[in-house]
Amino acid sequence: MPTIVETGGRRFERIGAHSHIKGLGLTPEGKALPSADGMVGQIEAREAAGLVVEMIKEGRMAGRGILLVGPPGTGKTAIAIAIAKELGEDTPFVSLSASEVYSAEMKKTEVLMQAMRKAIGVRIREIRKVYEGVVKNMKVAFKRHPYNPYYKIPSSAKITLATRDEEKTFSVDRDITLELLNKGVSIGDVIWIDSGTGRVTKIGKVRGFEKAKYYDLETEVYVEMPKGPILKEKEFVHTVTLHDLDVGMASRRGIISIFFGTPTEREISPEVRREVRSG
């Protein structure tokens, strides 16, 4: 059994000013708890914010804003962050102060436009073919380094994936082998291997799997054993902001300026935003 030593006297430190907030701390009936989800006090404001969250989810707040008024330190930013958390983990949140607008080396309208577009999220859906299964066996082959014969590098691997209905053994190349080793994949892990790019995604671990190593204390996420065929189609949802799309489109245009020595503009042109809007 592991030995756990309790140490006292250490002060708890947060990562950020509001990193502890997980939501509004409301009951299913919309009533605010005295202390929950990192929120304390402001009972009436939190319950009113809960009504706003419900209206947003029902699509009754489109094109409208919310104004939170109060002295400094009363929890305005905390409630705003809690609203974003209640709407979903991928809901973008942008904090902007007046000093940032006036100290930026660009037009004030551009600063505000970028802040607005950072706060608007877009979901991109794609269907990809992946190999999904629990790792039943994995053997990695090594070869000598071409420049250092005393050093060995992975060259390929054989991996056996299994679901409740199917089991297959695959030979994978060096790139996928490096992905498996870098992600720390071991026997008992449930993984996805993208058939197009070879990208490996570690989903979790199956409890009670034969030959797998388990510990009394660990951070692994346990999942159910996959069902169906190993090769299947899965839908992936990526959340990006309009500003991310603007930057991506502008960087592609900026390649020409790199070759010809023209300095890249920090401001994003209206033509780029129109292209993003139309695309």
Full DSSP string of 147-206: S-TT-EEEEEEEEEEE-SS-EEEEEE-HHHHHHHHHTT--TTEEEEEETTT--EEEEEE-
**SS3 at position 61:** coil
140-164 pLDDT tens trace = 999 998 888 888 889 999 999 999 8
| CB-based contacts of 256, cutoff 8 Å, min separation 6 | 262
**pLDDT at residue 206, as a whole number:** 85
Length of the chain: 279
**pLDDT at residue 145, as a whole number:** 86
**pLDDT at residue 159, as a whole number:** 92
Six-digit token pair at 234? Answer: 């899965």
CA atoms within 13 A on the CB side of 196: 7
Residue stretches of the chain with pLDDT short of 50: 1-8, 12, 255-265
Cα–Cα distance, 217 to 5 (Å, whole number):
14
**pLDDT at residue 259, as a whole number:** 44
Burial 199-221 (b: 16+ CB within 10 A, else e): ebebeebbeebeebeeeeeeeee
Residue 135: alpha-carbon gap to chain centroid = 24
**pLDDT at residue 110, as a whole number:** 86
**pLDDT at residue 103, as a whole number:** 78
List for the chain the helix, strand, coil content (%; round to 5). Answer: 30, 25, 45
**pLDDT at residue 216, as a whole number:** 67
Q: Which of 32, 217, 234, 2 is nearest to 130 (CA)?
A: 234
